[in-house]
Structure 1
């Protein structure tokens, strides 16, 4: 078995220089030799540039894995705050070590597993957590003072497009600044769309700073068009950041949430301007007009949000295209259609793949789908009978699923009894039992949620009554239906439609009751024709 030496530094400069990290390792090695540990039995874990407020650290994770595998008998650390500056995390680690019979040794202080020793250890941990809060406050206060008094720009991961970061200042990157000016000119003077601007930038060889794919998106262009930094105004302290403990992004970085502070707390730092204020103001006016026009819904779409692409899986969108100029009226007529958003993706450039699905005129698809609905509701009595059969089939499926979940919950209760028995026979310790119970409870909660959802849907179906409308009134009711009322009928029959194209043919597949009702109607007609 090994004696582990764990060392940690939190700042990047300390990690790069290595002095503090190597110093910790040297002190810990000396402590290990005092306990007659051979050099070959020492395993070093170095944590470079990771904060003590987060438990999820690479070297710490490796150490805990080795402890769990029974490879470590002792852990040597310079000070308790190297483990963690959070009291709860620190106590959790110590309990984990105790459960594995791993001895904990500190260079700067003595740790004894007695009530007095634990009290002293907890006091040190509380002080370390308090010190961390003070360090954060002083750091933030120092940064704000440096920004407000000296007008310095704090280090940033990536400077804004059009600028470089040098000596605590933002300086203009002339190559990128030329493209910023062109973006404003294309948008304000030439009235180009985001797609046209993105394609033009790609053709000219311009690349965004942050994008891994090196392709422009609508959001990155819009950010340039609305940022006041391009007229010389950089605001510091606009956002408040909070880490979400234990959560990570897809890239493995700590997950954060952001909120915008009150404008009184913002600190203005003047930077070199790339465009003049008049051009910036015109761009904002243009953005306002575009937003207003985008929000003005002139058309009602019967199938909006109910269509999904059968080629790429994206949900289709409803939009309007401008048609040809009417020579008689002098106005440009528009027409509505449905299309896959991947047909015109919001990332620009020739290397971006587009969906092969073609757009469809809205009135054509609306009429076709509504004709399908009319087939199943035009005969009220037959429609009610088929709907009742489908309803009963669904209720039977829900009952079977509910019974299956009930059996799984009973099995989980038996499993809990086995865990208790294993603890009584000393096959697992108290911590392992708690961990097993937490995992078991999470599984039970998920099953109970599924069971509740089944029971609620069953109750809803039992209370729903299938009403039959008289033949003499159905035609009048259908003629008077508004678009929203027609949507309500379609949504009660269909979850969604899958749209795909095979050559010149367009396939429309209904997912839900409508497909079953049409199939039943078709079978009834075939049976009638045979007889």
Structure 2
């Protein structure tokens, strides 16, 4: 009987683009193909798996994922890898993968060592894994200190230049850096001028940029609000960029074993640890400071941040007479309305179609209800009768209506007092003009 040819796969990995340019992955593949040829096993071209530019500190790699799928489906019998650190940098990940391959009946062969089940073989793999982790830590620390030294020498470390600049790679002894991009740079002072002179919002600035000839990078047709905001708050446009601003720490979230990266978060370092690197300026310091103040004012007086409970007397208290769902308050220009929540989103209210109830003009309904309330509160006999009727109802589980209404009115009074205090604080800080203060205070005191 003709022996069955074993099915093989080879896996290679490089962790940086520099290694790709130096063709280190090709040298790995050449050695692996030579070993496969000597062993006389079958190798299909689709079973040659390579991860270019992927770190060995993570298991989330496209080539490795495909390899694990092939092993799990028992499509291949042997996996060839150049060395354990090409499979994974961390020993824990190496142990996981080796155990996974063994359970699927797949043999794993390293060119410089073949793992075995005896204690000596396991110890050797562990030692290699620890050495790989040590080498990675040493490389990381060497790169970090090298970048710090370059930044202190006034060299821009980051290759990702903001809009308006371009990155010039290092050429021989001349260090790389950012230079002004003549095609993009005029957009920056124009954008800052809009906000400084006209006080427009970030959304309005985004709309103007989309209507202009300037286009974002990456082939996108339109600007995003987040991108425009990042440009407006970027201090690099004043002629200085900072390195070593943040550091990464582990967060409180649990680390997933197969996650792409550890659950970390970045926090700002103390200001004295920042390293300032000079670059060409596109806006002056005064313009940048004025724009930051304007953005704060826009945020403070944005409609979404202004509380309007005083304009809705029946907020959260009125229900739709057609479907019974709650009525929500809304503002359309200078006019306020109550409309059924089932008319806004009938899916969330479990209705087959939108509620046909029309809009109710809020001032009219508020005035009608307030008139009835004042009539009730001015008649002690009516209040006493209503109180007796409420207390005499069996099975009433809700709070006393009058007490709840009095508590709500007290809360409204307290809220109005807090809003008046915020207006006074804004006036003292120079954010509000006297005429604006008088108008808003009069509206609240009504």
Q: Of residues 11, 14, 25 in structure 2, which corresponds to 1:6?
A: 11
In the alignment, which residue of structure 1 is the partner of 2:405? 478
In the alignment, which residue of structure 1 is the partner of 2:123? 119
Answer yes or no: is the 8 Å Cα contact 1:232–1:272 preserved in 2. Answer: yes
Q: Of residues 186, 191, 197 in structure 1, which corresponds to 2:199?
A: 191
Q: Of residues 234, 240, 244 in structure 1, which corresponds to 2:241?
A: 234
In the alignment, which residue of structure 1 is the partner of 2:162? 160
User: After superposition, what is the alpha-carbon deviation per residue over 1:216-263, rounded to whole angstroms, capped at 9, x for unaligned?
Assistant: 41x433333322111101111212346965446xxxx99863322222
TM, length-normalised to structure 1: 0.57
Answer yes or no: is the 8 Å Cα contact 2:157–2:177 preserved in 1. Answer: yes
In the alignment, which residue of structure 2 is the partner of 1:449? none
TM, length-normalised to structure 2: 0.67
Q: Of residues 367, 377, 380 in structure 1, which corresponds to 2:390?
A: 380
**Alignment partners' CA distance in 2, 1:175 and 1:143:** 29
Answer yes or no: is the 8 Å Cα contact 1:384–1:467 preserved in 2. Answer: no
**Alignment partners' CA distance in 2, 1:476 and 1:100:** 71
Residue correspondences, number: 355
Unaligned runs of 5+ in 2: 1-5, 170-175, 319-327, 340-357, 377-385, 414-446
Q: 1:362 to 1:129 in 2, by over 3 A?
A: farther
User: After superposition, what is the alpha-carbon deviation per residue over 1:96-127, rounded to whole angstroms, capped at 9, x for unaligned?
Assistant: 11112211211122422211110111111111
Q: 1:317 to 1:7 in 2, by over 3 A?
A: farther
1:201 aligns with 2:128: no
**Alignment partners' CA distance in 1, 2:367 and 2:66:** 62
In the alignment, which residue of structure 2 is the partner of 1:264? 272
**Alignment partners' CA distance in 1, 2:78 and 2:403:** 85
**Alignment partners' CA distance in 2, 1:277 and 1:481:** 49
1:279 aligns with 2:287: yes
**Alignment partners' CA distance in 1, 2:146 and 2:196:** 41
**SS, match of residue 75 in structure 1:** strand
**Alignment partners' CA distance in 1, 2:244 and 2:78:** 45
In the alignment, which residue of structure 2 is the partner of 1:177? 185
Q: 1:476 to 1:9 in 2, by over 3 A?
A: closer
**SS, match of residue 79 in structure 2:** strand
- The structure carrying a bigger helix percent of its residues is 1
**SS, match of residue 204 in structure 2:** helix
Answer yes or no: is the 8 Å Cα contact 2:232–2:291 preserved in 1. Answer: yes
**Larger CA deviation: 167-176 vs 267-276:** 167-176
In the alignment, which residue of structure 2 is the partner of 1:416? none
Q: 1:240 to 1:382 in 2, by over 3 A?
A: farther
Unaligned runs of 5+ in 1: 308-315, 324-334, 340-357, 388-465, 487-531
Shift of 1:138: 0.9
In the alignment, which residue of structure 2 is the partner of 1:84? 88
**Alignment partners' CA distance in 2, 1:367 and 1:30:** 90
